[in-house]
Chain A
Amino acid sequence: MRSDSRQPGTGLVNRLLAYFVTLFLALTLNFFLPRAMPGDPMALVAGNSVRQMGAEHIAELRESLGLDRPIGEQYIRYLGQLIRGDLGQSYRYSGGLSVVKVLADRFLWTFMLVLVSLTIATIIGTLLGTWAAWRHGTWRDVGLLSGLFALRSIPAFWLAMILIPVFAVQWRLLPVGDSYSFPRPEGFRRVTDVAYHAILPITVLTLAYIPTPFAIMRSSMLGVVGADYIRTARAKGLSERAVLLNHAARNALLPLVTIVALDFGQLLGGVLIIETVFNYRGLGSMMFEAVKSRDYPLLQGGFLLFTFGVLTVNLLVDLLYTRLDPRVRRGNE
């Protein structure tokens, strides 16, 4: 029901084709979005500083950015720049730092946060979901389920806003924000310093991520417990524990991989706001700063990188899924 037209593993060629078509459409959207907005696209493509410029200067800039050309020609030019890995210049840095360079600087911080918290959350969520399904219909299951419903209703950035004053300001256990202390310590201390600054953001993100794997694992397990091979396993006289771990959980894990990956785009959204609260030096706070300073090339670059990342993760998981589950190895579309 969730993913009818994104059935996993419908043939390598089809998947690759769909991937490139979607990527291409996203690139196109990124090009037309600023030009379809009300107002002068000049102000959107070149930033608000336009308003302080003279008419002559504007015309000059318009020409140098190619905005006086027909839209088709602009589009070809844009695609050409993308192929060369040129995302334009960020306005915020007066030296004219390239967007690609800013993104490269920021990317690893976000990647680390997401990777660590998603891993922890998947492990905890999977275990809790398995346990809840095994105790299906009891008060423990309902309690856990309601707890996670509640957790899912809480805005993650708000969680951060109440953990910071408690842990960082009142108890002074953890830093208020940023990715590292200044000046940066040398050697091994540098690593522990980064870890120390990452504890709170990772905690918040993990809490925010747990409900997804929990819900999937619980429902997936519930689908499995009634299956014939589970009854057979029980009839063989295996212990409940062995049935649970070797038979039920193992088979329930497959959908988890796909759905967590398909939700990856949504999960990334959380990190964006969390980073802003913590002033963490990743892509999220970069987007936020870019919004504040109306730094459109940087915003577009960030959006493209996020889109590229999400689509690529989806593709890889689709391909991986095909390897994992022999039943879908043959195309079924």
Chain B
Amino acid sequence: MSQTDVSYGHLIPMRTSRKPRLSQGLYTVVGLAGGFILLVLIVFALFPEKIAPFDPSETVARPFLPPSGEHPLGTNDIGQDLFSELIWGARVSLLTGVLVGLVAVTIGSIVGLFAGYYDNIGSTFLMRVVDLTLALPFLPLVILIGAYLGPSFRNIIIILILVSWAAPARLIRSRVLETTSQPYVEAAIATGSSDNRTIVKHIWPAARIIALVQVVMVSAAAILAEASLSFLGLGDPSAKSWGTMLYFAQASGAFLGDAWKWWVVPTGIMISLTVLGLVLVGYALEQYMEPSLRRR
């Protein structure tokens, strides 16, 4: 699956003659739905010890128990409570998303602003690096680096940042290029506005909505990628992450019996809901805050 590219830029048409028959309120509904999902997950991530009935790293019962009143989703291969693991998993996922999203888009914004505003050897070089990063196949590269760095949560974050900054950089650069040739920016430069002032006062305000949407979209992609990497065994095996849960489910043959129903299914639903929540919020933000994209 196109795991990295959760940017929905190409969903937005160039122009259309037919007026959408649904009101603009739809985007609000979509955004609120996404926001609600995220809110629940943030509560899980902030206060897992209040919600989860057990410590997920403790063996609290016999292994491979089916769901019961005490263990709503049964237990895993070493007798840990699966429901508690699921709640705690939100923390790793959201933390991955937030860290990778913020850092990668910050790097991408700086590169995009620089490469779009200035036209010199430095900016050409930067765009070559962007092209190279985007041209390399994402997962094989991530697996290669992950294998060298060794399995750990910190390494996954570093790897994901290394491969996630380029797409936002390119998007922001093209917005900067558009903006720089606008009459009001040319006028500002002509009246003696310094480069720094022009960038801060005129260019960045036009580009920051793209950066904001990209933070959300990159986070979504990072969460999917973290799950994939942990599933491949490149994550920290002791971390309570949804990808790691699926890794152990696969490793202990959970789908040969019935255990997949309460082990694999809820875990995947949590990952999908998290990603979906972010994507919905990102999509709504894009439609809502970018006037030029309205009615599309």
Contact = CB atoms under 8 A, between A and B. Distances in A.
A269 B128 CA distance: 23
B295 to A, nearest CB: 10
Nearest to B8: A215
Contact of B10 (A2, A136, A157): A2
Interface stretch (B40-48, B53-61, B132-140, B200-208): B132-140
Interface in B247-281: 249-250, 255-256, 260, 264-265, 267-268, 271-273, 275-276, 279-280
Interface stretch (B75-83, B144-152, B185-193): B144-152
Contacts of B22: 137-139, 142
Nearest to A19: B135
A243 interface: no
Contact of B1 (A150, A215, A270, A306): A270
Q: How large is the interface on B (under 10, 10 to 19, 20 to 34, 35 or more residues)?
A: 35 or more
Interface string B174-214: 10010000000000000000000000000000000000000
Contacts of B11: 145, 215, 218-219
A268 interface: yes
Interface string B126-167: 011011100111111101111111000000000000000000
Contacts of A31: none
A164 B255 CA distance: 7
A156 interface: yes
Interface stretch (A71-79, A84-92, A204-212): A204-212
B4 interface: yes
B5 A266 contact: yes
Nearest to B220: A153
Contacts of B232: 273, 276, 288, 291
A269 B139 contact: yes
Contacts of A33: 144-145, 148
A291 B147 contact: yes
Contacts of B131: 5-6, 18, 22
A218 B296 CA distance: 12
A110 B141 CA distance: 17
A149 interface: yes
A18 B124 CA distance: 13
Interface in A123-168: 133, 136-139, 142, 145, 149-150, 152-159, 161-162, 164-165
A154 B3 CA distance: 10
A200 interface: no
Interface stretch (A8-16, A54-62, A99-107, A293-301): A293-301
Interface string A96-128: 000000000000000000000000000000000
B158 to A, nearest CB: 12
Interface in A178-232: 208-209, 211-212, 215-216, 218-223, 225-226, 230-231
A69 to B, nearest CB: 21
B15 interface: yes
Contact of B140 (A4, A159, A209, A268): A268
B138 A153 contact: no
Nearest to A6: B131
A270 B232 CA distance: 12
B138 A266 contact: yes
B50 interface: no
B57 to A, nearest CB: 23
A168 B5 CA distance: 31
B137 A268 contact: yes
Contact of A215 (B10, B136, B233): B10
A4 B174 contact: yes
Nearest to B210: A1
B17 A225 contact: yes
A150 B139 contact: no
Given A154-B272, A212-B2, A223-B14, A22 B135 contact: yes
B2 A314 contact: no
B109 interface: no
B227 interface: yes
Contacts of A18: 131
A175 interface: no
Contacts of A309: 137
A319 interface: no
Given A211-B2, A303-B144, A272 B139 contact: yes
A222 B250 contact: no
B268 to A, nearest CB: 4
A219 B12 contact: yes
A137 B54 CA distance: 47
Given A137-B20, A222-B14, A299-B147, 10 more contacts: A5-B130, A29-B132, A37-B149, A209-B1, A218-B11, A219-B10, A219-B12, A266-B2, A277-B250, A303-B141
Please name the 5 residue pairs, one residue from A and one from B, whose CB atoms are nearest each other, closest first.
A222-B13, A137-B20, A269-B139, A208-B1, A158-B268
19 contacts: A33-B145, A142-B22, A145-B11, A149-B279, A153-B273, A153-B275, A154-B268, A155-B1, A212-B5, A216-B10, A219-B11, A223-B16, A226-B15, A226-B18, A263-B2, A291-B143, A291-B147, A307-B135, A311-B135
Interface of B: 1-6, 8-22, 26, 127-128, 130-132, 135-141, 143-149, 170-171, 173-174, 177, 220, 224, 227-228, 231-234, 246, 249-250, 255-256, 260, 264-265, 267-268, 271-273, 275-276, 279-280, 283, 296
